[in-house]
Chains A and B, each alone.
Chain A
């Protein structure tokens, strides 16, 4: 019998090389896994909770020689896209405390993983993967 339980992806290492990574960041992988698996749960922890901020921030860009490089990773936009594509995104509440500056800081649709809305027990997932 097919196992239809979802998988949990945990992302806690953020900002791993904007210039060399560009579009191919950890959320690009998460998006592909979400597509292959028909929906997945993603838990953002540590510095990676900043991916879940509602404010898109300034467009990431830098100059290299005479080239304006405007294809740096845009993780906040990637989280928006993941939600649109059916992923369930959680942000660890204790880690949000270091960054959250107000009630509208967190992107709508991202769930706070804390006592009020606990993340499902890991044993209920088909697998847990640290990306």
Chain B
């Protein structure tokens, strides 16, 4: 018997990588809308999506030459803001294999690493699972 995962209404499995299309934007918008309505949400990142929450990204993107003083938040900072805003409703997991393979370690502290061979436990812990993109 493995550890019990918290139950959630929806799992958003972000398999597609960032900077390719608006998959990540859609996932975050969907998560935000669900959380604002009181739903419980699990996010799982695979492949290059594991890089969204790399600690090495810091809190800000590199500076914008056109707007030097403006602080643009990194994806890690935005993930942290989402997690800090809904601490009782949102859990963010990242695939251990992909995290190691794609050099995404270490993550920001709120991210929980899980081995891919436990993924079915995540499917069993939610009422609905949505896959976004492919690794």
A51 to chain B, nearest CB (A): 15
Contact A64 B72 (CB under 8 A): no
- In this complex, how many residues of chain A approach chain B with their Cβ under 8 Å: the count is 22
Chain A interface: which of B63-71, B98-106, B113-121? B63-71
When the two chains form the complex, which single residue of B18, B24, B86 contacts A65, counting CB atoms closer than 8 Å?
Answer: B86
**B55 at the binding interface (Cβ < 8 Å):** no
Contact A62 B24 (CB under 8 A): no
Chain B interface: which of A10-18, A90-98, A102-110? A10-18
**B20 at the binding interface (Cβ < 8 Å):** yes
B24 to chain A, nearest CB (A): 6
Which B residues between 15 and 53 are near A, CB-CB below 8 angstroms? 18-25, 28-29, 32, 52
Which B residues between 57 and 91 are near A, CB-CB below 8 angstroms? 61-62, 64-67, 70, 72-73, 75, 78, 81-86
Binding site for B on A (CB under 8 A): 15-24, 28, 31-32, 62-67, 69, 71-72
